[in-house]
Structures are given as C-alpha cells and as structure tokens.
C-alpha cells in the first residue's frame, strides 16, 4: 500500500526545497525524495562555500533558453527581493560582492538550514538517501506512484527537481531527463556551461606555464561579450569572463579577446608612444596587464621594439590585434567542473506560470532540469527559487 501525499518532489536541491516549502505553506502534504545523503549539496559548495544566492539585477536577459520568454513569468512573480526578504527574516548576514551578486557573510550552510527550517515549519517530510526505483503513472486520485528505497508513495502531483548533469560527485544525474522522456517530453541537447575552456597544441604550450596568471579581458563570441577576469590554467583558460562566454561557445566557434578592455587601444598606444618613446612595447603593455603575460605576448605574437619605432600603420595593426585576439579553444572541461548544464526539458511543453507539463497533468519540472540556464553571478539560484516557487503555488 503506497503512502499518500498531495505532492511528491524528487530532488532536494534549491528548486525542490523552495517548491516543497511553498506548497507546504499552502497546506499541502509534501514529501521530498532525495537520493544523496543530504539535501542542497550544490548550495553548500556554491560561491566558494558562501553561496551567491541571488543577483539583484536579475532580468530574463540573463538566461539562455531555446525560448527566451519562458522564464519571464516565474522570475516576475518571485524576485530577488522576495528571496532577500526570506534571508533577512532568518537573520542571515550577506553582502554584495560585485555586479549585484549577493553572498552569505558566513556560510552557505545557513541557506540550506533556512530552507530546511521553512520546510519543517510547513510540515514537509524530507527523505534523504532515498533512491527512486520506478515512477509509474496510473489512474485515480493519486496517479503518480513512486517505488523507492523507503517504500512506495503516491500523489496527484509530482515535481521533478533533480537538477542537471554538472558535477556528478555532488549527486547530479540524468534522471530528470529520463523521467521527462518516460512521460513523452522532449529533452533539448545538453552541454556543459559556465565551464573552463581547454586549449590545445601551440596555444596550450605557449600559455601553460603562465598558469595562475589572471588578467582583465572582454571575451566575445556569437554576438555576446563579457568583461571580467580571465585566469590561465594548466589546460586552458578560466575565470569569470571565460566561464560566462563558455555558455555561448561551441567547438569551432570564433572566440575573441580584447586584452585592453576599458582602453581605446589605438589612442592608448599613441599616447604611450608620445609619453615614453624609448620604452619597449612589453614594458608599456605591462602597465595594462600582468608583466609575464605582456612578455609572452611580445615574445610569441607581437613584434617587440621601442615605441618610437612603430609606424602609424604598425601601431594601428597592433591595436587591432590586442583588441581582437583570437583564442582557439579546443573544448571545455566538461560536466566534471561545469557550474551548469545548458539545454534540458523543452519549455515548449511546459506552462511558464505553473511549470506544469502540457502532456501529463499534475507533472511539473523546476530548476536546472528545464532548458533555462543563467549567467554566472547568482542567476541560476534565482531561477531555482523562482521556478520552485511558481510550481509550489500551483501544486
Ligand atoms: C560548484 C558549483 C557552484 C555553484 N555556485 C553557484 C552560485 O554561487 N550561484 C548560483 O546562482 N548558482 C550556482 N551554481 C549553480 C546552481 O548550484 C544550480 O543551478 C542549482 O543548484 C540548480 O538547482 P536545482 O534544484 O535545479 O538542482 P540541484 O541543486 O542540483 O538539486 C538537484 C537535487 O536532486 C537530487 N537528485 C538527482 N537525481 C536524483 C534522483 N534520481 N533521485 C533523487 N534525488 C535526485 C540531487 O542529489 C540534488 O540534491 C553552482 C553550481 C556548482 C556545481
């Protein structure tokens, strides 16, 4: 005999817990089924242990999806201000790091505790180390039946909040996609996002020993650009500018870097030529970027000589190269290190206001399993909170 609930949520991550507590507060009997030994592992890991829990500047433009309109309704109905209100009610101290990114002052653990406290107050039952063996859909008042390691459960509403493929060691699985397919939904192709890029061949050899060097760049690809730090790694490049652009890059795509962001390169080089005619290019560039990187550029890619020896066309060419430096990435570090997974359950078959399946009444998909992926900077949690809340209000 299956134990009956009003709502069963599979996945005790950010979106699943938000959905559960919202539904619980509305008087629903809610069960959360989590296969890992604790809930919210990604929340705990996030933001270097301080969870970048939202971004005050969140707009639909900060998300990638085959349907860019899909996220609008949920984001409008549960905003960063709503989550901040919850955080403040739990007296969790936070600060803005940069660009609207809010982090806990002390620890991500406080965010998980807050969500669990809210769940407990709302009477939500949370089962950890509970793997799901089968999900069946039948007839009657509670058509969704789950066979799990803790027995059988049934409910009229089932919420899939299993997240996506990034970082399998934190409990990530493709289970949500399997369930989606089981229920006749299409899953758009997935790939790693917010992920370091790898270089190969000469490019990699020429930069590998600079591993650890960081410099400001503007990274551009497929009509998008992000200005922030780039970090050179043993295998390629990382850092916020690269992580952001990685979500817009696919093998073979043209990726360009402005190595003098914030400067009008030609005007800056001309000024340097006038002010310090005897200084070599590598010395001049070292004022705008780390010395070792400037030296390497001049050794391998640019001709290094005293500034006064550059002709006007040469200076123009130099400016063009520095502002439009081609970076030939060979691939990404993959799901092992990616913060998010692009693609997922096709939004065409889901309601944008309730996250409910248009194919199977009572079935909802929330969070990262859906084809909505945010930029780096707190946007992905905001989507998890907002989509979880939207479903929680509907189930
Ligand atoms: C290292 C790292 C740092 C990050 N930092 C940030 C950040 O600072 N800010 C930000 O906005 N975003 C960040 N992200 C992204 C963010 O963590 C995710 O977008 C967000 O957690 C997605 O929420 P979710 O609830 O959809 O999925 P998840 O949080 O991944 O939760 C899914 C849950 O489902 C469980 N599950 C999976 N399969 C099953 C199954 N078969 N049965 C039962 N349970 C299952 C998982 O164990 C997990 O607990 C980070 C991601 C990573 C990997």
Q: If you write DSSP's letter for every residue of 78-125 in order, what string do you get? A: S-HHHHHHHHHHTT--EEE-STTEEEESS-THHHHHHHHHHHHHTT-E
Atom of ligand 1 nearest to the CA of 14: 25
Q: Which two tokens stand for residue 38?
A: 């604790």
For a mutational test of ligand 1's pocket, the pick from 108, 175, 380, i.e. the residue with the most ligand atoms closer than 8 A to its C-beta, is 380
- To 5 degrees, how large is the angle CA 393–CA 394–CA 395? 105
For ligand 1, say whether the CB of 62 is within 6 Å of any of its atoms. Answer: no
Alpha-carbon span 318 to 297, nearest angstrom: 11
Report the DSSP beta bridge partners of residue 158.
8, 363
Torsion angles phi and psi, residue 294, rounded to 5: -60, -45
Task: Render pLDDT for 298-339 as a digit per residue (tens, 0 to 9).
Answer: 999 999 999 999 999 999 999 999 999 999 999 999 999 999
Residue with tokens 């653990």: 109
Helix, strand, or coil (residue 392): helix
Closest CA to 35 of 146, 121, 122, 140: 146
The strands making up 329-332's β-sheet, listed across from edge to edge, are: 325-326, 255-258, 214-221, 224-232, 236-238, 197-199, 329-332
For residue 168, the model assigns a pLDDT of: 87
Residue nearest to atom 19 of ligand 1 (CA): 380
Give the Å distance between the CA of 145 and the centre of ligand 1.
Answer: 24
**C-beta separation of 18 from 385 below 8 A:** yes
Name the average pLDDT for the chain.
97
Closest CA to 44 of 128, 93, 108: 108
Give the Å distance between the CA of 61 and the centre of ligand 1.
Answer: 21
Which has the higher per-residue pLDDT, 256 or 170? 256
Residue with tokens 């081609």: 326
Taking residues 353-363, report their average pLDDT: 98
Q: Which two tokens stand for residue 17?
A: 């817990």
Residue nearest to atom 5 of ligand 1 (CA): 46
For ligand 1, say whether the CB of 380 is within 6 Å of any of its atoms. Answer: yes
Q: Which two tokens stand for residue 282?
A: 């590598």
Alpha-carbon span 182 to 161, nearest angstrom: 15
Q: Which DSSP category does 196 fall into? A: P
For ligand 1, say whether the CB of 46 is within 6 Å of any of its atoms. Answer: yes
**C-beta separation of 394 from 355 below 8 A:** yes
Burial class (CB in 10 A: 0-12, 13-18, 19+), 361: exposed
Closest CA to 182 of 152, 151, 153, 144: 144
Domains of the chain: 3-192+340-392 (3.50.50.60), 197-332 (2.40.30.10)
Task: Render pLDDT for 368-381 as a digit per residue (tens, 0 to 9).
Answer: 999 999 999 999 99
Of 122-126, 164-168, 239-243, the one with minimum mean pLDDT is 164-168
Give the Å distance between the CA of 232 and the centre of ligand 1.
Answer: 27
Report the DSSP beta bridge partners of residue 102.
54, 96
pLDDT reading at 130 higher than 90: yes
Give the Å distance between the CA of 111 and the centre of ligand 1.
Answer: 13
For residue 293, the model assigns a pLDDT of: 97
């Amino acid at each position: 005999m299956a134990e009956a609930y009003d709502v069963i949520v599979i996945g005790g991550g950010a979106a699943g817990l938000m959905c559960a507590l919202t539904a619980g507060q509305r008087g629903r009997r809610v069960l959360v089924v989590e296969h890992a030994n604790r809930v919210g592992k990604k929340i705990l890991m996030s933001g270097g242990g301080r969870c970048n829990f939202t971004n005050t500047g969140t707009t639909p433009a900060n998300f990638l999806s085959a349907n860019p309109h899909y996220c609008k309704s949920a984001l409008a109905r549960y905003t960063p201000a709503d989550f901040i209100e919850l955080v403040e009610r739990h007296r969790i101290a936070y600060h803005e790091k940069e660009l609207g990114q809010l982090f806990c002052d002390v620890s991500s653990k406080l965010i998980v505790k807050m969500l669990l406290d809210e769940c407990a107050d709302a009477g939500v039952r949370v089962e950890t180390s509970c793997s799901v063996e089968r999900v069946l859909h039948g007839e009657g008042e509670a058509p969704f039946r789950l066979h799990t390691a803790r027995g059988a459960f049934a409910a009229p509403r089932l919420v899939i909040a299993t997240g996506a493929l990034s970082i399998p060691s934190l409990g990530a699985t493709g289970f949500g996609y399997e369930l989606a397919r089981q229920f006749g939904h299409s899953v758009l192709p997935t790939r790693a996002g917010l992920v370091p890029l790898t270089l190969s061949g000469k490019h990699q050899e020429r930069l590998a020993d600079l591993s650890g060097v960081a410099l400001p760049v503007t990274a551009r690809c497929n009509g998008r650009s992000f200005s922030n730090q780039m970090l050179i790694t043993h295998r390629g490049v990382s850092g916020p500018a690269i992580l952001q652009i990685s979500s817009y890059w696919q093998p073979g795509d043209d990726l360009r870097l402005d190595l003098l962001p914030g400067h009008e390169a030609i005007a800056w080089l001309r000024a340097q030529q006038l002010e310090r005619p005897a200084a070599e290019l590598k010395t001049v560039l070292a004022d705008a970027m780390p010395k070792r990187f400037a030296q390497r550029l001049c050794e391998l890619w640019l001709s290094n000589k005293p500034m006064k020896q550059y002709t006007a066309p040469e200076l123009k060419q130099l400016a063009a190269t520095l502002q439009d430096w081609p970076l030939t990435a060979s691939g990404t570090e993959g799901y092992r290190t990616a913060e998010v997974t692009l693609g997922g359950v096709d939004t065409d078959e889901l309601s944008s206001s309730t996250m409910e399946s248009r194919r199977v009444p009572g079935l909802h998909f929330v969070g990262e399993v859906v084809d909505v992926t945010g930029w780096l900077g707190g946007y992905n949690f905001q989507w998890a909170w907002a989509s979880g809340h939207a479903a929680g209000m509907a189930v």
